[in-house]
Amino acid sequence: MPAQKTKKTILIIDDDKIFCQSIKEYLEKDPVEVIIANTGKDGLSASARGDMDIILLDQRLPDVEGDTLCGAILANNDHAKIIFITAHASFEGAVKAMKSGAFNYLSKPFELEELDLAIEQALRTTQLERIEQLQKYRTAKESKEAVLIGGQGLSGILKLLESASSSEAPVLITGETGTGKNVLAKAIHYKSPLRKAPFISINCAALPENLMESELFGYEKGAFTGAVASKKSIFEMAEGGTLFLDEIGEIPLHLQAKLLGAIEEKKIRRLGSESVKAVNVRIIAATGRELEKELGEAFRKDLYYRLSVIRIHMPPLRERKSDMRALCDYFLSILPGGREMTISGEELEKLSAYPWPGNIRELKNVIERALILQRGMHDLRPSDLLVRLDKSAAGNPELRRQQDFFQGDEILTLAEIEKNYIKHSLARLYGNYTQTSRALGISLSTLKRKLKEYDLK
């Protein structure tokens, strides 16, 4: 009969060698054996010993995503508890990690005491108890985020949300950039009967056209140069759950027909495969474009009508002035240092008078900048930043002309406002496309499309 194991074994799989060594030195203060691997391949090889108790696994490794390693590692170590460590924390990432077999989820940088607690919980807590803890967190997060897609300015949206949540029909969410389309899509999923299944999101605008087909439909090993291993389609990843196609209007025409076939037939064919795979997913799509004006030209009519069985339009922030207080309170509650700050009624009036071309995302960015720049103040004044934007154009007639839509009697079209604001943002950021796209909360490919659309150089 083999001797009972007296020392716990911890495997660290992370490409940051300094981080690994620091954690190893810290953990070895107890009777613990610590093994280090800096790649997924080496980590899988080390786990073949089969006696791991705890595995600290980086979610993004140089040779593989941490999620894909879980199954193989657990096959050799069925009693082990995997704790994901990542510098890109999100609830969706935590859920994905849990579904792939992870026990807990730590965000870098973390305190060593947090690691101690996570390891202690892993050794004495069952997986079912951890799932219940995550569900409680999800419920609390939903209640906070409700203001983004609810409030006095969106009473009709909540009714549509309930209808969409009780159905598995496709949903098309429209609205300007930054209005909360992504948050609404998640709310529909997590309120629906599919909430325990995956929610997979993909931003079609962020995908290069030459890679879009392989991302949407997957591929087999050898399907093209560089396809050294098979890759699942996003339909397969979302099996039984919800697939959210953000910026659906960016999908080129020749792929729209294939996407329509996958939705209607519930089957996909990977690139390089001779067989089809059955898929069962609920589709939610979103766009900031007016697809109705593009039907028959840049967007297929049949795909549009198939996606818009339920259609929900998210109004811009300038039409939701009654929600300004609730939105500001929400951002103060989630941003670092915000809980100690207040925004006066006079300040709210100034914020409500601003047109917010970047919508809720712009409001969050302004409040976040104010928290950084106005550190030490108790009453936050984010409107000071808006005033500075106007003053920056005082000596520049061209910038002054661009900003005239913030004030005055003339009513400009949304297209004119968007064009002027993009031009203004580019000027303030010295023509840097990457910084401008980040500041506006849109992808680089969307910015370039807008520049071409408005003939901006």
The SS3 call for residue 315 is: coil
What's the CA gap between 228 and 295, in Å, rounded? 38
* DSSP secondary structure string for all residues of 32-94: EEEEEESSHHHHHHHHTTS--SEEEEESB-SSSBHHHHHHHHHHH-TT-EEEEEESS--HHHH
Rounded distance between C-alpha atoms, residue 309 and residue 122, angstroms: 44
Do 8-125 and 137-313 come out as alike in CATH topology? Answer: yes
For domain 321-382, say whether CATH 2.40.50.140 is its number: no
Into which CATH architecture does domain 8-125 fall? 3-Layer(aba) Sandwich (3.40)
- Fold annotation for 137-313: Rossmann fold (3.40.50)
- The verdict on pTM exceeding 0.85 is no
pLDDT at 398: 46
Task: Give the residue extent of every domain in the chain.
Answer: 8-125, 137-313, 321-382, 392-457
pLDDT of amino acid 108: 75
Quote the pLDDT of residue 171.
Answer: 94
pLDDT at 36: 93
- 3-state SS assignment for residue 327: helix
* pLDDT computed for residue 397 by the predictor: 44
224: exposed, middle or buried (C-beta count within 10 Å: 0-12, 13-18, 19+)?
A: exposed
- Residue 404 region by backbone torsions, left for phi larger than 0, else alpha for psi between -120 and 50, else beta: alpha
- Confidence at residue 305, expressed as pLDDT on a 0 to 100 scale: 93
Q: At how many degrees (to 10) do helices 112-124 and 17-27 cross? A: 70
- What is the predicted pLDDT for the residue at 63? 77
Distances in Å between the alpha carbon of 80 and those of 1, 59, 322, 436?
Answer: 22, 17, 51, 45
Taking Cα atoms as reference points, which of 299, 217, 215, 284 lies closest to residue 251? Answer: 299
Q: Cα-flanking dihedrals φ and ψ of residue 367, to 5°?
A: -65, -40
pLDDT confidence of residue 29:
74
pLDDT in tens, the chain (457 residues): 344 456 788 999 998 888 888 888 888 877 888 999 998 888 888 888 888 888 998 877 887 777 777 777 777 776 788 888 877 655 555 556 665 667 777 877 777 777 888 888 787 765 555 555 555 555 555 555 556 666 555 667 777 888 888 888 999 999 888 888 888 898 888 888 888 788 888 888 877 777 888 888 888 888 887 777 788 888 988 888 899 999 998 888 889 999 999 999 999 888 888 888 899 999 999 998 888 888 888 899 999 999 999 999 988 888 888 888 888 888 887 777 777 788 888 888 988 888 888 888 888 888 888 887 777 677 788 888 774 444 444 444 444 444 444 444 556 677 888 888 888 888 766 677 777 887 787 877 888 888 888 888 6
Query: Is the preceding peptide bond at 397 cis, omega within 30 degrees of 0?
Result: no
Any idea which fold 392-457 has? Arc Repressor Mutant, subunit A (1.10.10)
Give φ, ψ of 441 to 5 degrees.
75, 30
- pLDDT for res 405: 47
Where do runs of H (alpha helix) occur along 150-275?
155-165, 181-191, 209-217, 234-237, 253-265
